[in-house]
Structure 1
Amino acid sequence: MILRPPNPDELAALSDMCLRSKAVWNYDEAMLEAFRDELTLTEDDLDFDAVVVAEDKRGVAGLAEVSLEEDGTSHLEKLFVEPARLGEGTGKMLYVWACRFAQGLGARELVIEADPDAAPFYRHMGAEPAGEAESGSIPGRFLPRLLHKL
């Protein structure tokens, strides 16, 4: 498995993979459509954030996106695994990359606004509950907020 930056011409396919990955939590079509904008990778994401793709000889296995604020706070914007590749360790590898990358930029913590079904994974990886955050996709919906001390 290698980690590499995405190519601009694959942003649509990677965005589709994010939606397929989100769909494993049994969201209906209306909810998935509400998530579409937030899960779509853009060229601005490539310009302003760090995005990495996990890939092997079988193809793309997942991706992660980390942002850094001016105050040094780092955010895990995206971490998605191709549904057929779940359970292979790709999510763990991407999460470790995200933590190390953020730490390398001088961040002291990685902030995660997690899907409620994904929160146990992040807690297992060492993130601690830190309240809630309003969803960027659905007003009035609140997500678990977690912090991983770096």
Structure 2
Amino acid sequence: MDVRPARRSEAGALTELALDSKAHWGYDAAFLASCREELTLHPADIDRRRTTVAEEAGRVLGFTTLDGAPPEGALGMMFVAPDALGRGIGRLLFEHTMAEARRLGFARLTIDADPNAEPFYLAMGAVRIGATPSGSIPGRELPLLEVVLTSRRPPAGRW
């Protein structure tokens, strides 16, 4: 398994991977259509969002984006192909992205998690800090999670 920066030419395929991954949770066609814009990656997004892919034998099996500027950012997108779930690809991508975030000087990342993915993120060490409105579905709330990447927290009230 290789982890590498995504290529601009992969934006369309990554968008489809994200939608396929979202569909795995049983969401209907109308729900997925509502999510399409939010889950679409454009070629210009690939570098700006620090997109990373996990690839095996020339096939992309998952990807993440690391959004924002240090010291605070977000794990913006993280998706694994449905037929590759349970193989450790999510863990590999998550750990790689956290290491990259630390290297770049991030102290904290937030995650607007799909409710079905929340248990994975909690198992990886994220903590639920609240809820956030869905960017795609009016009235829907998503778990808001946090990963602290430094051993020292800033004074109370900073975050």
After superposition, the Cα gap between the structure-2 partners of 1:10 and 1:47, relative to the gap in structure 1 and judged at 3 Å, is closer
In 1, Cα distance between the equivalents of 2:44 and 2:72? 19
Residue 22 of structure 1: aligned partner: 22
- Structure number with greater Rg is 2
Q: Which residue in the other structure is 1:67 paired with?
A: 67
What does residue 7 of structure 2 align with? Answer: 7
- The aligned residue for residue 55 of structure 1 is 55
Summarize deviations over 1:7-28 as a string: whole Å, max 9, x none.
Answer: 2222111110110000111000
Q: Per-residue displacement from partner, 1:7-51 (whole Å, max 9, x unpaired)?
A: 222211111011000011100000001111111111231232210
Q: Distance in 2 between matches of 1:60 and 1:48?
A: 19
Residue 32 of structure 1 corresponds to: 32
Distance 1:81 1:58 in 2: 15
3-state DSSP of counterpart to 2:147: strand
Match for residue 105 of structure 2?
106
Segment drifting more, 110-119 vs 132-141? 132-141
TM-score by structure 1 length? 0.94
Q: CA RMSD in A?
A: 1.2
Where does residue 43 of structure 1 map in the other structure? 43
Q: Distance in 2 between matches of 1:100 and 1:47?
A: 18
* Number of aligned positions between the proteins: 149
The one-letter amino acid paired with 2:46 is L
| Structure 2 segments unaligned to the other structure (5+ residues) | 150-159
Superposition pairs of residues 115-126 of structure 1, within 5 angstroms: 115-126=114-125
CA distance in 2, matches of 1:13, 1:85: 16
Report the residue type matching 2:16 in the other structure. Answer: D
How far 1:58 sits from its partner (Å)? Answer: 5.9
Matched to 1:56, the amino acid is E
| Contact 1:68–1:102 (Cα < 8 Å) also in 2 | no
Look up the equivalent residue of 2:95 and give its one-letter code.
V
Which segments of 5 or more consecutive residues in structure 1 lack a partner in the other structure?
none
